[in-house]
Amino acid sequence: MKIYWVGLLSLVLLMSAVSAEPLSAKAGFSASPDVGSRFLDIHTFLYKIAARNGWSLIVSSEVNSPIREVTGSTVEDALKNYLDTTRFRWRLFENCLYVANEADLDLFFKTLPELELTMPRGQPANFNGNFMRIDIEMLCNMLRSVSGFEIRSSNDLQHSVMMRAKEMTWQRVLLAIVYLNRFRLNRTDFSITIFPAGS
C-alpha cells in the first residue's frame, strides 16, 4: 500500500510540474497591464509585458499603433485596446507571445508542425536575445553561429524586426520571423536563404 501511495504522489507531482508552465504563462494575460507608464506605443507595451512575464516575443514588422493610454484591468484588455480595431492579433504559444496580421498568424500555426519537420537539424542549440529592433542580416548571422548551419538573407532584404527570445529553438525563431513577415525561405542541404515576399 505504501508503494502505491508513493507512486500516486510522484505522478501528481509530475503532472503539477508539467502543467505549471502553461498555467503560469497564461496567467500573465490576467495580470495588471501596468508597466510603469500610462501612455505607450504598442511595441514598448509588448516588450515590457513580455519581459515582466518572462515570455519570448516575436512581432511582425507590420504591427504598429499610435501612442495610447494603457487601459483595462488586465493585459488582455490592454491588448484589445491596442489591436481590436486593427487587422493584428496575438497568440501565446509555448511561452512566446506572437503578434502579427491575423491571417499570417493562422497560417503560421496551422503549418508550424510540418514546417519544423522540414527544417535542418543543425546544432541542437537554443537562441536567447532581446532586440527592440534587429536587422534581418544581423539576426541571420546570430542564428548561423548558434545553429552551425549557413543562414543568410538576400541582398535586397533590408528589414528589421522586434523580438525577445528566451530559450527558443533557432528553427522556431527563423520560421516565425519568415512567416509572420511574409518573407520567402529557400532551403538546400547546405544553406537557408531568406528573400523578400514576391522576389
Confidence of residue 199 (pLDDT cuts 50, 70, 90): low
Domain range for 130 is 122-195
Q: What's 168's domain CATH number?
A: 3.55.50.30
pLDDT digits (tens, 9 = 90+) for 77-121: 888 888 888 899 999 999 999 999 999 999 999 999 999 998 887
Name the helix (H) or strand (E) containing 39.
strand 39-40
φ, ψ (nearest 5 deg) of residue 156: -90, 5
- Integer Rg of the chain from CA: 19
pLDDT at 26: 65
Q: Count of domains in the chain?
A: 1
pLDDT digits (tens, 9 = 90+) for 118-153: 888 777 788 999 998 999 999 999 999 999 999 999
Q: Are 164 and 55 in contact (CB under 8 A)?
A: yes
pLDDT digits (tens, 9 = 90+) for 50-83: 999 999 999 999 998 888 888 889 988 888 888 8
Residue at 110 is within a domain:
no
Judged against a pLDDT cut of 50, whether residue 9 lies above it is answered with no
Residue at 29 is within a domain:
no
Report yes or no on whether pTM surpasses 0.85.
Answer: no
Would you state the cell numbers that stand for residue 37, as one nine-digit string?
507608464
Helix (H, G, I), strand (E, B) or coil at 154: coil
Q: Tell me how far apart the alpha carbons of residues 82 and 77 are, in angstroms, rounded to a whole number.
A: 9
| Mean confidence (pLDDT) of the chain | 84
DSSP state of 94: T
How many residues belong to the chain? 199
Residue at 92 is within a domain:
no
φ, ψ (nearest 5 deg) of residue 176: -65, -45
Judged against a pLDDT cut of 60, whether residue 24 lies above it is answered with no
Residues 6+ apart with CB under 8 A from 199: 154, 156, 184
Residue at 14 is within a domain:
no
Residue at 140 is within a domain:
yes
